[in-house]
A and B are shown apart, each in its own frame.
Chain A
């Protein structure tokens, strides 16, 4: 099933639709990108009775970076975690509406959440390497999915670490425990670990909130490197970060997707009053 930007039906709340890809001059347009990779259609998430995310309609365009901002408790993390069904861990959590990934419903009857998560990788707030060696951390995913050959694994580990810009720092101590790395290195290791299973979408849940400014800069550089190869969604509470790294920004407030627009546009000419108040720091 193919969907292009034009073919998509107009969402009901008009302001959340991204119609044109408006990029500032320093950001290159990505060839082959810009196709709706994920589409939320009247998508709501409930914790028991409580509606944490309310009827979201949005298209996430492939190969671009989308940032999700909003005050804490606005449902941005919940939304992100629902994309690869991490919320399944919470028994009281359920959804309505549809969340389409390449046109197929993520919450459909025939979805295998294990295969889904292989396609949609996730990096968490706090770096969470396993208490194993660096090599075993990266190789964990590929091994799960049936790669046994040592040579192939070596290749995957090196490529993933290179992609995560970590190879030069750790190539001589791959057999050391990953918990011995610094926080920033651990987080890049987590990115590399996710890349090793070759996902299409990369979900980053406040990936720099536990890191110092230097490590944060490295992660941000890494996101720029990965832009164009993966569809990236990043939840952040830091608006500067959102404006630095993303092409599109979604602003959530109390579970509602208030505005969804190209980043350059949202931060300079917000359409919604609420967005303006938020980005100008009138509330947080």
Chain B
């Protein structure tokens, strides 16, 4: 091969490596960007009058007089629409039986679309579920509902070779010649006045409890559950891990037992997380009976086992990176070994140990599989600190799965799911970021 080709190969090789790293960076962006941009919409969005009503009714938040004024304003706009509907109902009663039946079904669709958009029709009985008590609280959703009111979805099966395509049919067209036909242009042009959208910053998304299984409200119970589980896991794993690391670095002598212990540590690090969940169920709940069924305590213990190897490893590294001279200096001043460890080595290694601890905390907060069988429930309110020994808790990681995969209206509450993912990712990445900063400061300090 001549030199040119060799150099070309060399450059391509470099490009391959750089490309891989760039792809990794892009993947990080591709995953984080939608989570960030959509997650924000859980907090900041155009809220309608229905959102403000909900906040006032459920949490007594907002200015009552102003709210009443706005309700009056929107009701004024809505009244006309309801009047049109009432007029059409009256008209239908006068129709022939056959014609009546033909319109009834279509009219029911219109009525339910109106209910979905604006909430229950005044004068009707209030429904049981909160989600049916209010119209659309978010303007973006309201626009979708408006579209459903104005157009009917139809499927095009004309070409059997390709998948059926959907297309829209105007509802107004199917009510041609009746009084209802005026309703559609009226609602379309007056929807602003009916819903009065305004930009809303809803911090309550973080601090409120959920209402009607996350249809409305916030995610505080999940955030709190995540904090309880992660901190609980640290309470068990951190002291244990640091002490074990002290043993491994300062006391362990080369030998069969210690290589066995080290192997055990790396085996533990490699156990699949779902197996921790199985173990937690079989050991902590079914055998030790730390609680009757799932509980925060059982979940924390399971997570603690999972993060233990990480803590041990990072603490070991931190202790080993303490300069040997500190140890010598302390010993030469007549300090005992244990004293040296406690007063010199551990303080010097503390930032490194904390770095590992913080990263493990993030891992415990983000992990799902171990808590499925041991601690997590899908619906529930925030639990008190006293209940951690006996009750399960909702947690961000589990509820993201649950809302995205098992909720009956999963696609309706994407914003809540995104908001939860954002909250979880923020917690975890903040912890990691602080670990990275902490480590940078250590290396600076060691350089002098």
Docked-complex contact B331 and A115, CB < 8 angstroms: no
Chain B contacts of A179 at CB under 8 A? 448
| Distance between Cα atoms of A129 and B332 in the complex (Å) | 12
- Which segment of A35-43, A117-125, A217-225, A235-243 sits at the interface? A117-125
User: How many of chain A's residues touch chain B, expressed as a range?
Assistant: 20 to 34
Q: Please determine whether A117 and B343 come into contact, CB atoms closer than 8 angstroms.
A: no
* Given the contacts A126-B325, A140-B330, A114 and B336 also touching, CB distance less than 8 Å: yes
Asked if A145 is at the interface (CB within 8 A of a chain B CB), the reply is: yes
For B, the interface residue count at a CB cutoff of 8 angstroms equals: 21
Query: Max chain A CB contacts within 10 Å: which of B323, B331, B332?
Result: B332
Q: How far is the CB of B385 from chain A (nearest CB, A)?
A: 37
Does any Cβ of A come within 8 Å of B144's Cβ?
no
A194 touches B333 (CB 8 A): yes
Instruction: Tell yes or no: B12 within 8 A of A by CB.
Output: no
Q: Is the CB of A118 within 8 A of B334?
A: yes
Q: In the complex, which residues of chain B have a beta carbon less than 8 angstroms from the beta carbon of A131?
A: 347-348, 445
B292 within 8 A of A: no
Judge if B231 is at the interface, Cβ distance under 8 Å: no
In contact, B323 and A86 (Cβ under 8 angstroms): no
Task: Enumerate B317-367 residues with CB–CB distance to A below 8 Å.
Answer: 323, 325-336, 339, 343-344, 347-348
Q: A130-B344, A140-B343, A179-B448 are in contact. Are A121 and B333 (CB under 8 A)?
A: yes
Asked if B329 contacts A197 (CB within 8 A), the reply is no
Question: Once the chains bind, are A86 and B332 in contact (CB under 8 Å)?
Answer: yes
The answer to the question of A190 belonging to the interface, with a C-beta cut-off of 8 Å to chain B, is yes
Tell me whether A197 and B328 are in contact (CB under 8 A).
Answer: no
* Cβ B334 vs Cβ A141 within 8 A: yes
Taken together as a complex, chains A and B put the C-alpha atoms of A34 and B2 apart, in Å, by 80
Is B253 a contact partner of A91 (Cβ separation < 8 A)? yes
The distance in angstroms between the C-alpha atoms of A140 and B331, with both chains bound, is 11
Q: Which residues of A contact B330 (CB under 8 A)?
A: 130, 140
The reply to whether the CB of A144 lies closer than 8 angstroms to some CB of chain B is yes
Is A128 close to B, CB under 8 A?
Answer: yes
A-B contact pairs, 17 of them (CB 8 A): A89-B327, A114-B334, A118-B333, A121-B332, A121-B333, A124-B325, A126-B325, A128-B325, A128-B329, A130-B329, A130-B348, A131-B445, A141-B333, A141-B334, A190-B329, A193-B329, A193-B333
Interface residues of A (CB under 8 A from B): 84, 86, 89, 91, 114-119, 121-122, 124, 126, 128-131, 140-141, 144-145, 179, 190, 193-194, 197
Beyond contacts A118-B334, A130-B330, A144-B343: 4 other A-B pairs, Cβ-Cβ < 8 A, are: A114-B336, A130-B348, A190-B329, A194-B333
